Chain A
């Protein structure tokens, strides 16, 4: 059974803290994605990666960075968390850019 796992389901951080969100997939997929999900706004793409050490900005990359050192792992980094980054963060992977995306369960991040 295909699986995308995320390091935490819930996370509470303080303004200014550095935050790491980890995502691991076991399907040997080339592509991995980070989205944030907010009510009424759907899913918005933050960053994606189509290969190890490769990354591309999505629609809302400001305030975020990513790291992909291994094919199965894609990390999202908030360098200095702010309250407007309180959101649900979803990681996904896919075998090809236009293919079905497989999502993790999400991390609900609250920044106080």
Chain B
């Protein structure tokens, strides 16, 4: 069974601080997706990383896929209150299903 361990589960920081969220697995994924979910809404895709070692940037968000395609990280620079939400990583398994991490609840205080 493929599992994704996401950490930390909760993060409360002040506006302007930097943070990193991690997703780790002992399994290899063909690609990895990051979603963001706001209260009362479903998750929305932020990015997909496909190649080992790949780095993608989305404004102040930087996503990295590990060289071995077993882990990924999301780094937010100078967090804003608008970044508040639940961040989910999801690995695409060898059967094509998404395996979700537990999620990281981020609160950015003004």
Partners in one complex: yes
Interface residues of A (CB under 8 A from B): 4, 9, 35, 40-45, 48, 58, 90, 92, 97-98, 100-101, 103-106
15 A-B Cβ contacts within 8 A? Answer: A4-B42, A9-B40, A35-B100, A40-B103, A41-B102, A43-B43, A43-B90, A48-B97, A58-B97, A97-B96, A100-B45, A101-B43, A103-B41, A104-B42, A105-B42
Q: Are A40 and B9 in contact (CB under 8 A)?
A: yes
Query: Does B79 sit at the interface, judged by CB under 8 A?
Result: no
With A40-B9, A98-B92 already in contact, the answer to whether A45 and B98 are too (CB < 8 A) is yes
The answer for the CA separation of A43 and B6 in the assembled complex, in Å, is 12
Q: How large is the interface on B (under 10, 10 to 19, 20 to 34, 35 or more residues)?
A: 20 to 34
Chain A residues whose CB sits within 8 angstroms of the CB of B107 once the complex forms: none
Give per-residue flags for B25-64: 1 if the beta carbon is below 8 A from chain A beta carbons, else 0.
0000011010000001111110010000000000000000
Additional A-B contacts beyond A40-B103, A42-B4, A100-B48 (7; CB < 8 A) = A40-B9, A44-B100, A97-B96, A98-B30, A98-B31, A104-B42, A106-B40
**Which residues of B pack against A, CB within 8 Å?**
4, 6, 9, 30-31, 33, 40-45, 48, 88, 90, 92, 96-98, 100-103
**Residues of chain A contacted by B42 (CB below 8 angstroms):** 4, 90, 92, 103-106
Contacts of B41 in A (CB 8 A): 103, 105-106
Q: Using Cβ atoms and an 8 Å threshold, which residues of chain B touch A35? A: 100
Alpha-carbon distance between A41 and B44 when the two chains are bound, in angstroms: 18
Chain A, Cβ-Cβ closest to B6: A42
Cβ contact within 8 Å between A97 and B40 = no
Q: How far apart sit A73 and B98, CA to CA, in the bound complex (Å)?
A: 21
